[in-house]
């Protein structure tokens, strides 16, 4: 086997509840993830020993050394199986960088499934999930995809079975937001200091509404505790968010932002809204997305 192609999706957190920081400085979460059909594509070409990456699309300014999450993923997978094979990764980035849609995590997840195939490691789904969690909190979900309930720092997942289809309009900004900075601002606003154990508000109502396929209830239960800190760091984002909400639409900040996700009632309504928003906000990046979709997977082997 010489070359493997893989993809992994971006995500929106339909609900993101955050508690005070733990003593390891991570925040305990109770979250509902939805994978959306904005994909990162990775091609993995066999190399005798080196692990390297080149980025195209939205990723041209990102580091290509071991700070790159895809390189980290390949190194972690190789280390856990004790092999010496290498890989050259080519990543075509479609998910906005530092946009709150977990694009870097998707790169890592696609790399894990691609290298697992390329190096013929036969790692199990659980083994890949464990390695994924060592790379970043959002990486396990990029592997799993679909809809899932996440706890811990977001890495402990239980799939949610629900027959729902969501039509999103995503509004992105050219300047990303740093995830640690948004969590830091959250602590500042809440007056939180690290604690050994803390309670996090739960997301049971939303999980029930998803299982029942109750569209209007789902829309009314979208919630993100990182909205206030993200708006505090980026006041223009609050204005944009309010403008969208004033149209009577269900909207939510995606993860740590600055992408805003608007939930439309139908495909037609979403397509129409995307057109209108593109005219009203010419400086923002507007695109359509649909969810839930499957997680990281190998698409071709040569
Ligand atoms: C905001 C979310 O996207 C929601 O799904 C995630 O919590 C972020 O996940 P991620 O980008 O994969 O984050 P990681 O790479 O694990 O951590 C980056 C930094 O974000 C902060 N972080 C992240 C996850 C978490 N539960 N608590 C945190 O405080 C920490 O400062 C951490 O050093
Ligand atoms: N392959 C990669 N793609 C994107 N970012 C990467 C990658 N490798 C390292 N990074 C670093 O990780 C940071 C966060 O990237 P990412 O695009 O995943 O943000 P995000 O979508 O806000 O993440 P999340 O929603 O998981 O918090 C970037 O600022 C970048 O410097």
User: Is the complex ipTM higher than 0.90?
Assistant: yes
What is the CA(2)–ligand 2 centre distance, in A? Answer: 28
Protein residue whose Cα sits closest to atom 15 of ligand 2: 98
User: Is 79 marked within a binding site?
Assistant: no
Digitized pLDDT (tens) for each residue of the chain, 302 residues in all: 699 999 999 999 999 999 999 999 999 999 999 999 999 999 999 999 999 999 998 888 899 999 999 999 999 999 999 999 999 999 999 999 999 999 999 999 999 999 999 999 999 999 999 999 999 999 999 999 999 999 999 999 999 999 999 999 999 988 999 999 999 999 999 999 999 988 999 999 999 999 999 999 999 999 999 999 999 999 999 999 999 999 999 999 999 999 999 999 999 999 999 999 999 988 899 999 999 999 999 999 99
> First-to-last CA distance in the chain?
6
Please confirm, yes or no, whether 11 is among the known catalytic residues.
Answer: yes
Which atom number of ligand 1 is nearest to the Cα of residue 184? 31
d(CA 268, CA 196): 48
Kindly give the number of the ligand 1 atom that is closest to the alpha carbon of 150: 5
Pocket of ligand 2 (CB under 6 A): 59, 62, 67-70, 97-105, 107, 138, 179, 255-256
Distance CA 52, CA 261 (A): 33
Q: Which ligand ends up closest to the CA of 31?
A: 1
Residue 205 annotated as catalytic: no
Q: Give the Cα separation of 252 and 101 in Å (integer).
A: 12
Measured by CA distance, the residue closest to atom 4 of ligand 2 is: 104
How open is the CA angle 160-202-246, to the nearest 5 degrees? 90
Helix axes 125-135, 69-81, angle to 10 degrees: 130
80 φ, ψ (degrees, to nearest 5): -75, -20
Residue 103, annotated as binding a ligand: yes
Q: Helix, strand, coil shares of the chain as percentages rounded to 5?
A: 35, 30, 35
Please state the separation of Cα 20 from the chain's center in Å. Answer: 22
Runs of H (alpha helix) within 20-102: 69-81
Architecture of domain 1-302: 2-Layer Sandwich (3.30)
């Amino acid at each position: 086997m010489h070359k493997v192609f893989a993809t992994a999706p971006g995500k929106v957190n339909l609900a993101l509840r955050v508690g005070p920081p733990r003593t390891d400085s991570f925040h305990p979460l109770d979250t509902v993830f939805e994978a959306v059909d904005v994909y990162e594509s990775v091609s993995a070409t066999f190399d005798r020993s080196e692990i390297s990456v080149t980025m195209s699309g939205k990723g041209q300014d990102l580091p290509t050394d071991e700070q790159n999450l895809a390189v980290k993923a390949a190194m972690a997978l190789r280390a856990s199986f004790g092999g010496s094979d290498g890989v050259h990764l080519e990543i075509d980035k479609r998910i906005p960088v530092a946009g709150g849609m977990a694009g870097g995590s998707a790169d890592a997840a696609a790399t894990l499934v691609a290298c697992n195939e390329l190096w013929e490691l036969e790692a199990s789904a659980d083994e890949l999930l464990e390695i994924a969690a060592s790379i970043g909190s959002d990486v396990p979900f990029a592997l799993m995809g679909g809809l899932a309930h996440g706890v811990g720092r977001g890495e402990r997942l239980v799939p949610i079975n629900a027959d729902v289809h969501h039509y999103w309009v995503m509004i992105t900004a050219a300047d990303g937001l740093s995830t640690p900075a948004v969590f830091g601002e959250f602590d500042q606003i809440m007056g939180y200091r690290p604690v050994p154990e803390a309670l996090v508000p739960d997301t049971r109502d939303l999980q029930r509404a998803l299982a029942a396929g109750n569209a209007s209830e789902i829309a009314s239960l979208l919630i993100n505790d990182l909205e206030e800190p993200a708006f505090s760091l980026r006041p223009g984002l609050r204005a944009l968010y309010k403008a969208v909400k004033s149209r009577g639409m269900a909207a939510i900040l995606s993860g740590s932002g600055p992408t805003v996700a608007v939930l439309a009632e139908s495909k037609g309504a979403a397509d129409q809204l995307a057109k209108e928003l593109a005219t009203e906000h010419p400086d923002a990046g507007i695109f359509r997305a649909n969810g839930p979709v499957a997680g990281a997977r190998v698409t071709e082997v040569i």
